[in-house]
Structure 1
């Protein structure tokens, strides 16, 4: 049996809840503007009292290729890409399937399906700006790096590599919201900026995102900027 992908970062590729889980810490309450204050929290401190506590950008792309591809087993393929620059790592996966006529290959290697998973390739790399990726505007990303990959079939495990050349851009002005939460000593403010839609161009290993048979299943761009201050 092929290995199921269990790494947390790769799980986000096939979990619609992944981005929202990052966006909304337990106890967080959305506010209508960056200066709004959550009911019941400290209100005496001026905006200048907020201390910067960190930022991150997250980019996710899921794709599907429902046809035979040169050099790949099977007649259908799927996969995804995930970057979280807060831990400096990028992940990607490629799933090669044999599917009955008319059946769409799933995005998850552990999915219940009438397709048969023939090969699973998972790759990752540590990335550093600006050599491997660059933030563009509020949420855009350019990624150019090489991943070390593990390739598994029902009978073999081998090593490989894959080149990523991706450009991710919002389709319109990003949307922003602010959430607040607190613990026993501090109050936190997080500015969340999301792209309402994403244009994904380039290549993920062997797959061209602009190929006529490629379908972008989903694409997300989100940026976070967090501040903290003591409770009054």
Structure 2
């Protein structure tokens, strides 16, 4: 088949064109590649300004509009842009990605943060929050005087900046990550798993745990 170049009317992004079709290794055997994409920042802007024309023509103004939309959780215009990826990952990661998108934790589950102020003084100070409280902090606040409230998501932004503790499965050492988003997953039956030392863990049947033999659900254990 002969290869011929043709002009395109589709909007393109130079940064995306540069990595299109390239494979980037992830850890030992994984990879991620951008296979195709549709839309640009202008597509988001058009959707946001659809009621009064094409929109701004300055890149800085477009960037400011998109940042405003994301800051106030106006995510519908962002759906005008799509990406298609080719990814390789362990099976349990794929299942978590498809089923829960990022994570699935009970509302009563507590997660631990390292306070940055204590780290600056050369020591660690733990701060724990239940998932339910984190979800509440991700919701907008309501001020009696809206004109005095610049950012109704200041509590969410504060949580996003906090250093969340997680454990490295290979080294079993603590490291840091950050909370990206919190989802409600409905009401499910909760079971109690009692360990040999008498400690117990309450979780749903499909919650995954890392056992000595690998990952498994509470139902499978």
In which range does the TM-score fall when normalised by the shorter chain? under 0.3
Higher helix share: 2
**TM-score (ref. length: structure 2):** 0.20
**TM-score (ref. length: structure 1):** 0.19
Question: Which of 1 and 2 has higher RCO (CA within 8 Å, sep 6+)?
Answer: 1
Higher strand share: 1
